[in-house]
Structure 1
C-alpha cells in the first residue's frame, strides 16, 4: 500500500479508501444487498491487514448501522489513532426547519449521533453529504467550525456539490476565519467524467483532495460481461445512474477489458489505476476479500500515456444523475 497526505491536512491516508456503504442491516435502509456484521468484519479486517487505513461511511447508510458495524469492528483490531475515519451528515429535514432548528443545532445533533454509532470520541473527516439549499451557508460553516474547535472532528469535506459551491464555501470560511473543506467526494470514474469540467481543475489548483465515490461504477468497471453480483442486480440507484448510457459506456468498458487482458491484471486494477493517475484517492466498496486484493494491487499498477489516452478517447458527455441532477431543479 502507498500513502499520501489528504489535501491541505495532516492526515496520512492509504491511496485507497474502503467505502462502507455496503455494510449495514439490509432491512434498515435504501439497499437490500448490504452485508451483515459478521461478513462486514471479514472485509474490514482483511482491508486492515492489506494496509488500508482510510474508511468512509455515513449516518445515512442503512440508518446508521454501517457506522455501528465499522466502529465495533475497528475497535477489535486496531487503535483508533491508526485509522482515518470519514462520515457524513445530511441536510436539515422539513420537520426540523418547521421547528426552527438551526443548521448548527442540526449538525451537532447529527455528529453526536454518528459518534455514538461509531463508539468514537472524534471523527477525522466530517463530510457535508449534499448541499442544503434551505440553510444559510454561514450557518453551516460556522457550525462545522464550532465542532472542530470542540475537538469532535479534525477536518471537513464536502460531497455532491458544484465547483462554484465549494469555492463559495471556502471563500466564506477564509473571510470569517472558519475551517475550509479539504476534500471533495464526487461522482467520478472512467465512464462518468463530468467532474473534469470544473471541479477537478479547481481542486488541483487549491490542493483539495479528490476522493471519488462510485469509482468502479457499481461494478461495471470491474466485471466482465456475464459476471454478476447481488449488487449489480439489486442496486436500483446504480441502475438509475448508468443504465441510460449503457451503450455509449460499453466502448470504454471494452477497452478496460482489453488493457486488463493485455497486462494480465484485473479490470479493477485498470479502472482504479486510472483514477489514481488523475490524483484521486478512490473510495471503493467491497463485499468479498478478493475485491480488496484488486484495490490494493491497483496502487502499483502502471498505465502508459498511450493506454490512458486509449481509455479516455471514446468518452461522450453525460447528463448529471442522482443527487447532482436533483440540484439542478
Structure 2
C-alpha cells in the first residue's frame, strides 16, 4: 500500500477508505448490514493495508459509529487508525440535534467519541452546509475542538465552491492551518466537481475524499447484471433510493457502455477500471469503498494496481456531458426512513 498525504497535511492515508455507512442498522436504510457484520470488513481492510475509515453520526443514527468502535476495539492499535466522522445532519426532529452550531458540534463530538470508543478523531467534517448557522461559528467551534485535543484535523463535505472558499478563509484566519479535507461525489458519470471544487482543493492544499466512486453501483449494474448479484447487492440496487434519484440519466448510459467496453478489452471487471480512473485523478487523496460483500473490498484493492492508458482514459471521458448539480437523494432517504418506521410501529 502506498500511502498519500491528505492534502497539505502530514497525515498519511491509504488511497482506499472503508466507508462505514454500510454497517449499522437496516431500519435506517434497508440495505445496511447489522453492526456485527462490520468487524469482518474492518479486519479485511486492515489486512490489506487500509488505515482510513469514514463514518458519520447520521449513518444509522449513531449505530455506524458504534459498529466501527466495536470492530476496531482490541483489534488494532489506535495509532494505526485514521478515523473520520461527520456532524450536521439531523439526528432527530429536535432543533439542536441537527445543524452545525457551536452547541451541536460540541455535544456531537462527545457522543461520537463515546460511540467510536476513542479519545479523539483524526478528521471531523461538517456533513453539509448549514444555512441557519454562520460558517464562522462552525469553523471556530471546530478549531476549539483541535485545541481541546478531541480532533486533529477538520474539513467539510458536500459544499459548493463558494461555500468551501468561505470555510477555508475562516479556517486560515482562525488557525492559519486551513481545511484538511473535502468529501465530495465524483465518478465517471458525475464530474461537475472538475469545474471548480477540484481545482480549488488542489490549489489550496485541501485533500479530496471521493464518495460514490461507482455511482452507488449504477456504473457496474444493469438488468443483465441483476441476476448475478448476491441478495445483499440486489437489496441495495432495488432499495437505494438515493442512487435511483441520482443516476441513469442523459449521457450516463453511454459512459457506462464505454466503461463496460474498456473493461472487456482489458479483461478486467468494470468496477476496477472505474476506480482506477478515479485513483489517477491528481487531486484525489482517497476514494471511499462501500463494501456489502468481501469481493467489493478485494476489487477495490485490485484497482490500485491498474494503470489505464491515456487512450483508455480519453475514451472513457469523451461521452460525458456537463449538466446540473446532482444533489437529490436526501429527501428520498428521509421519506424511506419514515415509511420503514411507520411499518414497524
- TM-score over 0.5 for the alignment? yes
Specify which of 212, 216, 220 is matched with residue 218 of structure 2: 220
Which residue number in structure 2 is paired with residue 35 of structure 1? Answer: 33
Give the Å deviation of 1:225.
4.7
Contact 1:161 1:324 in 2 (8 A): no
- The 5 A counterparts of 1:107-146 are 107-146=105-144
Which residue number in structure 2 is paired with residue 306 of structure 1? Answer: 311
State the 4+ residue runs in structure 1 displaced beyond 3 angstroms.
91-97, 222-225, 323-326
Which residue number in structure 1 is paired with residue 341 of structure 2? Answer: none
- In structure 2, C-alpha distance between the alignment counterparts of 1:240 and 1:198, rounded to whole Å: 24
Could you list the per-position Cα deviations for residues 181-210 of structure 1 after superposition, in whole angstroms to 9, with x for gaps in the alignment? 111111110000010110011111112111
1:315 aligns with 2:313: no
Give the Å deviation of 1:175.
2.3
- The 5 A counterparts of 1:62-77 are 62-77=60-75
1:22 aligns with 2:22: yes
- In structure 2, C-alpha distance between the alignment counterparts of 1:233 and 1:94, rounded to whole Å: 28
Task: Say if 1:91 and 1:220 are closer, same or farther in 2 by CA, change over 3 A.
Answer: closer
- In structure 2, C-alpha distance between the alignment counterparts of 1:233 and 1:253, rounded to whole Å: 19
- In structure 2, C-alpha distance between the alignment counterparts of 1:59 and 1:94, rounded to whole Å: 15
Could you list the per-position Cα deviations for residues 146-200 of structure 1 after superposition, in whole angstroms to 9, with x for gaps in the alignment? 0000000000021011111111111122223365211111111000001011001
Which residue number in structure 1 is paired with residue 198 of structure 2? Answer: 200
Give the Å deviation of 1:96.
3.3
1:79 aligns with 2:82: no
Task: Say if 1:11 and 1:177 are closer, same or farther in 2 by CA, change over 3 A.
Answer: closer
- In structure 2, C-alpha distance between the alignment counterparts of 1:134 and 1:183, rounded to whole Å: 23
Contact 2:17 2:50 in 1 (8 A): yes
- In structure 2, C-alpha distance between the alignment counterparts of 1:231 and 1:324, rounded to whole Å: 14
- In structure 1, C-alpha distance between the alignment counterparts of 2:252 and 2:45, rounded to whole Å: 30
Could you list the per-position Cα deviations for residues 89-115 of structure 1 after superposition, in whole angstroms to 9, with x for gaps in the alignment? 015788436x9x982121010111111
Per the normalisation by structure 1, the TM-score is 0.92
Could you list the per-position Cα deviations for residues 271-296 of structure 1 after superposition, in whole angstroms to 9, with x for gaps in the alignment? 11111111321111001111111100
- In structure 2, C-alpha distance between the alignment counterparts of 1:102 and 1:317, rounded to whole Å: 31
Structure 2 gap ranges (5+): 227-233, 332-345
Structure 1 gap ranges (5+): none
Q: What SS class does the counterpart of residue 210 from structure 2 fall into?
A: coil
- In structure 2, C-alpha distance between the alignment counterparts of 1:23 and 1:177, rounded to whole Å: 35
Q: What SS class does the counterpart of residue 115 from structure 1 fall into?
A: helix
Q: What SS class does the counterpart of residue 170 from structure 2 fall into?
A: helix
- In structure 2, C-alpha distance between the alignment counterparts of 1:260 and 1:139, rounded to whole Å: 47
- The 5 A counterparts of 1:51-66 are 51-66=49-64
- In structure 2, C-alpha distance between the alignment counterparts of 1:61 and 1:270, rounded to whole Å: 28
Specify which of 248, 253, 258 is matched with residue 255 of structure 1: 258
Which residue number in structure 1 is paired with residue 2 of structure 2? Answer: 2
Specify which of 201, 206, 209 is matched with residue 207 of structure 2: 209
- In structure 1, C-alpha distance between the alignment counterparts of 2:47 and 2:174, rounded to whole Å: 42
Q: What SS class does the counterpart of residue 7 from structure 1 fall into?
A: coil
Larger CA deviation: 13-22 vs 167-176: 167-176
Task: Say if 1:128 and 1:102 are closer, same or farther in 2 by CA, change over 3 A.
Answer: closer
What RMSD, in angstroms, separates the aligned Cα atoms of the two structures? 2.1
Contact 2:271 2:299 in 1 (8 A): yes
- In structure 2, C-alpha distance between the alignment counterparts of 1:186 and 1:53, rounded to whole Å: 20
Contact 2:22 2:290 in 1 (8 A): yes
Specify which of 186, 189, 192 is matched with residue 191 of structure 1: 189
Work out the number of aligned pairs and report it. Answer: 320
